[in-house]
Structure 1
């Protein structure tokens, strides 16, 4: 029984020492919580932004809410969804991009569109993915996520892809799907 009492006593003593060793100083906790980082944010609602080059409208961005974070690496967040409409030189719509969420990294000239990303082009093709990146400098969209492209007679799936801004040209990686080659083929 003596050995059990010694072991119990040692464990009890060690438990008390550890309890006091792990106790936080309330003043230290208050100091840390008082040092919350304040980030200046501009909030705009019902936003429509026109992108132009040489007095020609190239694109229009529409979002119900835009948060402009003025940090060391500034960014714009559109957490309530976004629609971007692209136009050709004749001001005709060439493509439309929609997503449930978007973030624009200002210094990188890059927009990340996420959740339920849907793109339609002038040919009537529809592109769907969970994520799409718009590189404003290269004037390209790309994604390393699964993509589905639907046209009048075809449905393609791929592991990734890239497209020009108006989605008139695209390349899809590891594509699978139903492809209609036209009615001019002889089935014999």
Structure 2
């Protein structure tokens, strides 16, 4: 009887252990997310004044009141809900400037979406005004299908859409509504 009783206990313990073993799973990623909402940023930075250097020379200076870091998402991005002011410096240390009320930078695609009172001023005084402008960092290309005003030299060109390289050497206003030539 004791032998049968011990065998039954052994079978019960074995059954419980096997059940527990197969019911367990690796929840480490889920445990890391406890307390972090998937809709909330993983980090918030305020009063940003970031300088980017290349070979000891400042090539960009990004200023923004606030940045939200969503790198915890599958499609990671950084959001600048209160706008940006970005100075870019070329090899001759000439400055171009980008201002927008809102910006979002997508890490995987390299696309920057600028929105609200976007103003891009080049070192040679060409200026683009738009409500929304995209910048492809990989191709170094600017584009939009929204209304724009582009001032180059004495000409002010209004249209719907814009395509250009970052230096405006291949700038093209699409669907031109009108060109105004200013007297100097």
Same structural fold, with TM-score higher than 0.5 when normalized by the shorter chain: yes
Match of 2:137 in 1: 136
Deviations 1:122-176 (A, max 9, x none): 2222211110111110011111111111245322111111122233441111223
Structure 2 counterparts to residues 10-25 of structure 1, below 5 A: none
**Alpha-carbon distance in structure 1 between the residues aligned to 2:154 and 2:41:** 50
Match of 2:150 in 1: 149
Match of 1:178 in 2: 179
Distance 1:98 1:181, change over 3 A: closer
The answer on whether the counterparts of 2:159 and 2:174 sit within 8 Å (CA) in structure 1 is yes
**Alpha-carbon distance in structure 1 between the residues aligned to 2:108 and 2:148:** 27
Structure 2 counterparts to residues 83-162 of structure 1, below 5 A: 83-93=85-95, 95-151=96-152, 153-162=154-163
**Alpha-carbon distance in structure 1 between the residues aligned to 2:107 and 2:114:** 14
**Alpha-carbon distance in structure 1 between the residues aligned to 2:171 and 2:58:** 23
RMSD: 2.4
Distance 1:38 1:148, change over 3 A: closer
* Secondary structure at 1:108 match in 2: coil
Unaligned 5+ runs, structure 1: 1-35, 184-188
The answer on whether the counterparts of 1:39 and 1:71 sit within 8 Å (CA) in structure 2 is no
The answer on whether the counterparts of 2:155 and 2:182 sit within 8 Å (CA) in structure 1 is no
After TM superposition, which residue ranges in structure 1, 4 or more long, deviate above 6 angstroms?
Answer: none
> How many residues in Structure 1 have an aligned counterpart in Structure 2?
147
